[in-house]
A and B are shown apart, each in its own frame.
Chain A
Amino acid sequence: QSVLTQPPSASGTPGQRVTISCSGSSSNIGSNTVNWYQQLPGTAPKLLIYSNNQRPSGVPDRFSGSKSGTSASLAISGLQSEDEADYYCAAWDDSLKGRVFGGGTKLTVL
């Protein structure tokens, strides 16, 4: 049971826009920033979004993040086949004094 809640799966067709939600509480998302990671099969996770909505250099602007209250979202526009991967949200939790992750969302490009 993960501290942050994500839908287990999401899907879309090429060119479509999809969003993935991440729900937490006042001790994590409500008081700290959110990162998003993309994990392609058989590889290490890669930072996609940091500080709620910032993209590291090299990440396409098709990826965007937002946060409101105790929830965050990752949006992917202009969906491409190479976006098929697992996506994880993460935040620091002040009560647990540790980093917490969502359970991950498997994105399928139909």
Chain B
Amino acid sequence: QVQLVQSGAEVKKPGASVKVSCKASGYTFTSYDINWVRQATGQGLEWMGWMNPNSGNTGYAQKFQGRVTMTRNTSISTAYMELSSLRSEDTAVYYCVNGMDVWGQGTTVTVSS
């Protein structure tokens, strides 16, 4: 079945970077865009950007421009989202979502000194 499996929880210090992975299975990875969405505790969903796994083209929400980078490794059907210059407000669960609207299980990123 179509599945997106994300990497495990991360704890980072302010100013550091985090890289979350999202491994796809059950479909052709390059056929559907990958979006990243985050959710702070008790808050709503926030779209961060998208990536076309075939071309590598990306589009980022203005809020994250300059701090987020979305990449992929097609040989292992895996997408990555790297967020830099972390601050406490970046503490959230990060989800990858494919173009079929299948969601990963989420990765908790905690930013704390």
Q: Report the bound CA distance from A37 to B44 in whole Å.
A: 12
Task: Pick from B45-53, B67-75, B81-89 the stretch touching chain A.
Answer: B45-53
Q: A44-B95, A99-B35 are in contact. Are A88 and B103 (CB under 8 A)?
A: no
**C-beta contact mask, B48-63 vs A, less than 8 Å → 1, else 0?**
0110000000010110
In the complex, the chain B residue whose C-beta lies closest to that of A102 is: B44
**C-beta contact mask, A85-110 vs B, less than 8 Å → 1, else 0?**
00010100000111111111000000
CB-CB under 8 A from B44, the residues of chain A are 2, 88, 101-104
- Assess the A50–B62 pair: CB atoms within 8 A: no
- Assess the A44–B35 pair: CB atoms within 8 A: no
* A interface size (C-beta, 8 A): 20
CB-CB under 8 A from A47, the residues of chain B are 101
- Assess the B101–A99 pair: CB atoms within 8 A: no
Interface flag for A35 (CB, 8 Å): yes
Interface flag for B7 (CB, 8 Å): no
Interface of A, secondary structure class, is: strand
Interface flag for A45 (CB, 8 Å): yes
**C-beta contact mask, B28-56 vs A, less than 8 Å → 1, else 0?**
00000001010000001111011000000
Number of chain B interface residues as a range: 10 to 19
Smallest CB separation, B72 vs chain A (Å): 19
Smallest CB separation, B31 vs chain A (Å): 17
CB-CB under 8 A from A101, the residues of chain B are 37, 44-47
Q: Report the bound CA distance from A100 to B106 in whole Å.
A: 19
Interface flag for A46 (CB, 8 Å): yes
Q: Report the bound CA distance from A47 to B99 in whole Å.
A: 11
For the complex with contacts A98-B62, A102-B44, 4 further pairs of A-B residues with Cβ separation under 8 Å are A37-B45, A45-B45, A90-B45, A98-B59
Between A and B, 18 residue pairs with Cβ closer than 8 Å are: A37-B45, A44-B95, A44-B103, A44-B104, A45-B45, A50-B101, A88-B44, A90-B45, A90-B47, A96-B62, A98-B47, A98-B59, A99-B35, A100-B47, A101-B37, A101-B45, A104-B44, A104-B45
